[in-house]
Structure 1
């Protein structure tokens, strides 16, 4: 499986284009905005977009989802249904943070812990990792040792938990019990900032690493 990170919106959110090199089928993860930039990358790589995947319902990750789904004629998978209230409030979020107006939508498929999603011939595992938001999910491709973690974990930091239904203890538990056990060699793409690995964060992250208080 191949991928390209496409920073979008004023928040420089890491929208990710994933694709199967054999079938040229692709998925876009967290299209927060800048649809023309995303579509240009799909065309550049001669791909066929087959679905949109969402880690959670915040505006910088989901703001352009409805428009992209309509323009490309594809379905939306994720996040977990616990983030339904965030998606219902996208219009208010766009006003609050100065984003372009966006349409409220309901995903074609809510995702649960243990589900899988298909991108061409590649299968990604779904892990429900609440804390930043209650319905946050992570996409994990075992064969590539790659995880798309949204705003759960960052290089040297963790997701905010001061939003409605956020919870710090739950977030730390998600990281330590769901993500770190996948293996130190797993590279992750966060919702913002540079990539890292679970091993690096276990060793050095001041918020959730092995040397922090449990």
Structure 2
């Protein structure tokens, strides 16, 4: 076997924090306007904020690649300490309306502390993050408001959940429509055309070969387009694994009632034209069989590496109960 190429060098003016689930990787850009890209899970908001402050002082701006719980969990705390929040316009508009579907938090049963968006971002917009200019690149698919960030001088590309060294982002055909996988594929093609020197993903390590990572992601995304049922199963497995991570597992007595109460499972069953109870059973059985989840002491746990979350950290209200901007 030929040796693996080295990880591309990062410029000295940024700090990269690779984090296990349930947190997204975090990019810190110190300088005249210290900025943070994504803020991890709400259960680790204090840790995220302390780390950012230790490396860059007070954060002026947070940019979210998208609004899922593992990317926006520190927003509320950082905003309370003076940071502005920037996000793609579709998500910024929904947050401003206090749409009950914000962050898909209730739909996915993933808690998110209430925050507001101060800076809506549009495609092509240039942001000063730290001491460098970055371009906003709209990359819908994983969510409709998903975005990437492009630094042309160093050819750095922050890709959010669009791809990683081993994966592509799951797509929600129930909420975002049957074309969501094709939309994600088109976004990946747009990012590949930038020919980045460094890809900075939200999960896993920095790919050693950006071109190979992009090519693999395009193949994976094409499979999701070609096999809608497979895309639905893929999303269901990812959502259940995350639920187990943030709850330190779910007991075998509780897992099926838990799944039967989930809107995402009901939607998946409808799209697959199966009974929700049968889908729940098959999902658990299949993930146990593949080793994606494991049984220990009467509880099902996600097998992937993850950081524990204190139970009390999950006790934040769903967006339908968030205070309005006038009440904050």
Could you tell me which residue of structure 2 aligns to residue 81 of structure 1?
90
Could you tell me which residue of structure 1 aligns to residue 202 of structure 2?
191
Within the alignment, does 1:115 sit opposite 2:151 as a pair? no
Q: Which has the higher strand share?
A: 1
Return the alpha-carbon distance in structure 2 between the equivalents of residues 52 and 28 of structure 1: 5
Per-residue CA distance 1:13-58 (angstroms, 9 max, x = gap): 21222223xx4x4211111332222232233324331101011111
Per-residue CA distance 1:110-148 (angstroms, 9 max, x = gap): 111100111232111000011111111111112222111
Within the alignment, does 1:160 sit opposite 2:173 as a pair? no
Give structure 2 stretches of 5+ with no counterpart. 1-12, 227-328
Alpha-carbon distance change, 195 to 94 in structure 1, aligned in 2, over 3 angstroms: farther
Return the alpha-carbon distance in structure 2 between the equivalents of residues 69 and 6 of structure 1: 22
**Aligned partners of 1:124 and 1:142 also within 8 Å:** yes
Alpha-carbon distance change, 96 to 81 in structure 1, aligned in 2, over 3 angstroms: closer
Could you tell me which residue of structure 2 aligns to residue 15 of structure 1?
26
Alpha-carbon distance change, 91 to 61 in structure 1, aligned in 2, over 3 angstroms: closer
Per-residue CA distance 1:145-165 (angstroms, 9 max, x = gap): 211111111113211112621
Could you tell me which residue of structure 2 aligns to residue 200 of structure 1?
212
Return the alpha-carbon distance in structure 2 between the equivalents of residues 2 and 59 of structure 1: 24
**Aligned partners of 1:91 and 1:102 also within 8 Å:** no
Alpha-carbon distance change, 175 to 203 in structure 1, aligned in 2, over 3 angstroms: closer
The SS at the match of 1:113 is coil
User: What RMSD in Å do the two structures reach over aligned CA positions?
Assistant: 2.8
The offset of 1:94, in angstroms, is: 6.2
The offset of 1:169, in angstroms, is: 0.4
Give TM-score scaled by structure 2 length: 0.55
**Aligned partners of 2:49 and 2:77 also within 8 Å:** no
Q: Which has the higher helix share?
A: 2
Give TM-score scaled by structure 1 length: 0.80
The SS at the match of 2:134 is strand
Within the alignment, does 1:172 sit opposite 2:181 as a pair? no
For these two proteins, the number of residue pairs brought into alignment is 202
Return the alpha-carbon distance in structure 2 between the equivalents of residues 92 and 198 of structure 1: 30
**Aligned partners of 1:77 and 1:107 also within 8 Å:** yes
Give structure 1 stretches of 5+ with no counterpart. none
Which structure would you say has the larger RCO, counting Cα contacts within 8 Å and 6 or more residues apart? 2
The offset of 1:171, in angstroms, is: 0.5
Out of 82, 103, 113, the position equivalent to 1:102 is: 113
